[in-house]
Amino acid sequence: MLMFLLGMAILIVGYFTYGKFVEKILAPRDCETPAVKNYDGVDFVVLPQWKNMLIQLLNIAGVGPVIGVILGIKFGVIAFLIIPIGNIIGGAVHDFVAGMMSLRHNGANLPALIRMTTGKTFYYIFSIFMCLLLLLVVAVFINIPANLIDGFFKDNPIFWLAVGLIFLYYIIATLFPVDKIIGAVYPIFGALLILGSLAIFVMLMIQGFADPQLLGESTLFAARKWTAANDHPILPLLFVTIACGILSGFHATQSPIIARTMKHEREARASFYGMMVLEGIIGMIWAASALFIYNKFPQMFSMAPTRVLSEITGYFLGSWIGGLTIVSVIILAITSGDTAMRSLRLSLAEIFKIDQKPFAKRLALCVPIIVIVGGLLWWSNKSPASFNQLWNYFAWGNQVLASCTLTAATVWLISQKKPGWITALPGTFMTFIVCSYIFWISPKHGGPLGFGLELEHAQLAAAFIAGMVCLWAYEHGKANIGKFDN
């Protein structure tokens, strides 16, 4: 109980202290933003700050701060400290700096920012990788909400109908101007998410104070929790299992969407850093509720996270309000999937220099995306193993994206003679995480294909690579002093 409350305090205090410190380094200016100087009525549109904040929250949240933490809390109560600390010095900084880079460079998408800071060669590799990742994101965020919807109709399965309807919505949201669909409905969805999580928090506190042991590690939980001994080492596995809430590379693909709708740079801390902190708070609530359920009903520990989600909402809120909360989680997934598809369209348009104001050109870019995602959906639902592979590659690729973004951000900051350590610290750590994961993971360790090295050897190799990448970022930034100013 104490660890949970301490973690929540770290998130709140961190926003007003470390968040303010990072804002001083980035130094928001009173100048025309991309939404004002590049207005096109489609992607560059000024929206009110409160709308931008809710849109950003739903863009970045996905199912990570719910499904991810339901799995991640199996590492134990240490997650209550790792989530907030990682969020404050890692994830929120990542989102904030990525958003400010886009704001300062005409609302550029992530591939363009990577090209500017790291060069053409890596840009081509990164662009292919990012587009593949976004295809996985769209497929995952159609699959999961469709399965949750299907769960409401146990006697008459409607999975593929749900897939079709969600996909159709994604296409519409991707093609139409940002203020017509996303700007209109997201504030409503955002309110549902916040209210549902708040209701869980209130009930959790009432029952948690009555029996604090349910928010700790019971004897049965401690015997089952994930450890290195049962092929679940915290380093690197926890940081791949919990992305949203700690640090997620996917967020950097979403920040430019809001960078194109802001009226003032001074909105950036609340919209980027603040919404990541709020996502961390939501993640903490769901992690605590999952721990409560695992302690209360030990048999739930081995069940699928979607089943645990249903148990959490039903236990704390009852069938009616609990069902409404599951709807908010479905919306959470959908509202990340549609903007992932939009971000993919915008990135492809930027890469191939295709004007996105004409509707016909937007549609032409969406057609191949639709075909490929359709194929991924068919393949991932052939068997549970296929979906697990899809999820594993999505989770791993997501953190590779975070490592690349933070490395580029370090170069950008150093080139402006600013303290690059604010991004180099989490960037080096995340490079270590993804490298050690790739070197260690293998089917014999219960995961997808990898090198299958012993953990100690994987971590040593990863530490060396992470150190070299950090050194390169500093040297490259120094070699380009003043080059990336805007």
pLDDT in tens, the chain (486 residues): 899 999 999 999 999 999 999 999 999 998 899 999 988 887 899 999 998 998 888 778 767 788 889 999 999 999 999 999 999 999 999 999 999 999 999 999 888 899 999 998 898 888 888 888 888 888 888 887 888 888 777 777 888 898 888 888 888 877 776 556 655 666 676 677 777 788 889 999 999 888 888 999 999 999 999 998 888 999 999 998 888 889 999 899 888 889 999 999 999 999 999 999 999 999 999 999 999 999 999 999 988 887 888 888 888 888 776 776 777 778 777 777 777 787 788 778 878 888 877 878 888 888 888 888 888 888 877 766 666 667 677 778 889 999 999 999 999 999 999 999 999 999 999 999 999 999 998 888 777 778 999 999 999 999 999 999 999 999 999 999 988 776
CB 283 within 8 A of CB 65: yes
- Nearest residue to 178 via CA among 256, 101, 108: 256
Distance from first CA to last CA of the chain, Å, rounded? 47
Residue 163 burial (10 A CB sphere; 0-12, 13-18, 19+): buried
Furthest-apart CA pair in the chain: how many Å? 64
Three-state DSSP state, 119 = coil
184 to 55, 157, 389, 463: CA distances (angstroms): 10, 31, 35, 46
Quote the pLDDT of residue 318: 80
CB 139 within 8 A of CB 371: no
Quote the pLDDT of residue 106: 92
Note the CATH architecture for domain 2-393. Answer: Up-down Bundle (1.20)
Quote the pLDDT of residue 440: 94
- pTM (predicted TM-score): 0.88
Quote the pLDDT of residue 180: 61
185: Cβ–Cβ under 8 A, 6 or more apart, which residues? none
Q: What angle do CA 447, 453, 459 make, to 5 degrees?
A: 100
Q: Which two tokens stand for residue 44?
A: 């560059």
CB 14 within 8 A of CB 87: yes
- Please write down the HEC assignment for all residues of 368-407: HHHHHHHHHHHHHCCCHHHHHHHHHHHHHHHHHHHHHHHH
119 phi, psi to nearest 5 deg: 105, 170
- Distance CA(225)–CA(81), nearest Å, equals 17
Enumerate the H helices of 211-354 as residue ranges: 219-224, 239-241, 251-259, 268, 275-296, 305-352
How is the chain split into domains, by residue range? 2-393
